[in-house]
């Protein structure tokens, strides 16, 4: 059974917004108890969308919901380790930094090295409003920081030099245009 079937058997897939969609630059609002029903329905669809992409993380703004919700699973091909985080915040980080190649489902096919703290402690709530903390290093630390950035309208390209960022964004615009033209011909 695939990770998708294990976590979210019938959850509908959601369209992923692509840069330069203006929603991706907005600040997502905190989840309150009044949102719990919506968030309980949203999370399985976010996992299903993330696994189908495939990706190792997804933030609610990427699927058009401006709520502070992220999902991650940095080992989707091995034993699934899905983690849904509501109102996540980095409460501690290492001075030590590491450079890691990042991708983004909202910037398909674009990759670049980003320097971030190599260790973080993240506080979050689960779907019952219970508070938790997770400590992470390696790919999970990078992924959590990348997803929390999405909640603040920040994209990994914002960490690059203007030159590198423009090259990558022009490449993306060209590829999106070509993809639309190919679809139009079908």
Tell the smallest beta-carbon distance from residue 53 to ligand K1U (Å). 7
Of 147, 175, 178, 181, which is the active-site residue?
147
Give how many residues touch Zn ion by CB under 5 A.
1
- The secondary structure of residue 57, as a DSSP letter, is E
The residue sitting closest to Zn ion, measured at its beta carbon, is 104
- Could you say which of ligand K1U, Zn ion, none residue 118 binds, taking C-beta under 5 to 8 angstroms by partner kind? none
- Has 181 been annotated as catalytic? no
Residue in the block written with tokens 């600040």: 27
Looking at 43, 67, 104, 151, which residue binds Zn ion (CB under 5 A)? 104
Q: List the beta bridge partners of residue 133.
A: 123
Measured distance CA(69)–CA(151) in Å, rounded: 8
Cβ nearer to ligand K1U, comparing 105 with 157: 105
- Could you say which of ligand K1U, Zn ion, none residue 43 binds, taking C-beta under 5 to 8 angstroms by partner kind? none
The yes or no reply on residue 120 touching Zn ion (CB under 5 A) is no
Cβ nearer to Zn ion, comparing 44 with 55: 55
Tell the smallest beta-carbon distance from residue 186 to ligand K1U (Å). 26
Cβ nearer to ligand K1U, comparing 75 with 91: 75
Cβ nearer to ligand K1U, comparing 65 with 150: 150
Nearest to 23 by CA among 165, 136, 151: 151
| Pair 106, 134: CB distance under 8 Å | no
Report the run of H or E that residue 52 belongs to, with start and end.
helix 36-52
- Residues ≥6 apart with Cβ < 8 Å to 90: 120, 121, 122, 144, 145, 148
Give the binding site for ligand K1U (CB under 6 A): 54-59, 102-106, 142-143, 146-147, 150
Helices (H) and strands (E) in the chain, counts: 4, 7
> Active-site residues: which are they?
147
């Amino acid at each position: 059974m695939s990770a998708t079937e294990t976590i979210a058997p019938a959850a509908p897939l959601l369209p992923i917004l692509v840069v330069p969609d203006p929603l991706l630059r907005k600040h997502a609002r905190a989840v309150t108890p009044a949102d719990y029903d919506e968030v309980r329905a949203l999370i399985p669809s976010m996992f299903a969308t993330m696994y189908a992409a495939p990706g190792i993380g997804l933030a609610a703004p990427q699927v058009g919901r401006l709520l502070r919700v992220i999902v991650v699973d940095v080992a989707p091909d091995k034993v699934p380790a899905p983690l849904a985080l509501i109102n996540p915040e980095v409460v501690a980080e290492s001075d030590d930094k590491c450079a890691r190649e990042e991708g983004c489902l909202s910037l398909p096919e674009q990759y670049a090295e980003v320097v971030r703290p190599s260790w973080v402690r993240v506080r979050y709530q689960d779907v019952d409003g219970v508070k938790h903390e997770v400590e992470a290093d390696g790919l999970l630390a990078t992924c959590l920081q990348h997803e929390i950035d999405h909640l603040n309208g920040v994209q990994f390209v914002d960490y690059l030099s203007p030159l590198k960022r423009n090259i990558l964004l022009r490449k993306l615009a060209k590829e999106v245009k070509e993809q639309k033209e190919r679809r139009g011909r079908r």
